[in-house]
Amino acid sequence: MKNSILLLFFLNFCPCLPAQEKIEKISWQEERPLTWADFKAAPDYSISYSANTNSGISYSWNYSTATGEPVLEYEVFSNFYPKRSWVKGIENEEYLLAHEQLHFDISELHARKLRKAVEEYEIGRNIRRDLRNIYDRIDKERVTMQNQFDRETSHSENRSAEMKWRKFIAAELKKLGNYSNQ
């Protein structure tokens, strides 16, 4: 028993053990677009396209009845992951960077949709399950839209489709402007 407690203490508090690696991320900000310097992963040369943006949404929440009324506090984030995003030799850097930014913008659009859905959520008996279901539904929509965007633009090769997507995403972000983290 004494050895077990000592081992538990050692594993939890010993400064000689490596800490869990923190994942580098950039939160979506309207005034801070992506730059090529943000793409830090090694390129995947087995893939034909020139760049890859790894972005997504996350959330955290807390529920309390300490005031006598149910209170749900939450945060929703849209993040870009530099060490999972890459770029290789490209011809039109500005155009391709705008395409990759749009992938990040699609993640932000879905973060806003998640904020709206949680804001409208009526607290029920299964908060954890309900919030997980809301998140899973919206994240599935995000992934579907990311794939549709690449399919319709042929990974940025179809410029007219690209321009339509840029206008569409800008309009959708504006519609959900009240749910921005800014």
Predicted confidence (pLDDT) per residue in 150-168, tens digit: 999 999 999 999 999 999 9
In a 3-state reduction of DSSP, which class is residue 116? helix
HSE toward the beta carbon, residue 179, CA cutoff 13 A: 23
57/104 Cα distance (integer angstroms) = 10
1/138 Cα distance (integer angstroms) = 47
pLDDT in tens, 85-98: 999 977 889 999 99
48/91 Cα distance (integer angstroms) = 14
Q: With 60 as the cut, is the pLDDT of residue 10 above it?
A: no
In a 3-state reduction of DSSP, which class is residue 58? strand
Q: Which amino acid appears at position 38 of this protein?
A: D
User: Which residue ranges make up each domain of the chain?
Assistant: 2-179
Q: With 80 as the cut, is the pLDDT of residue 12 above it?
A: no
**pTM across the whole model:** 0.87
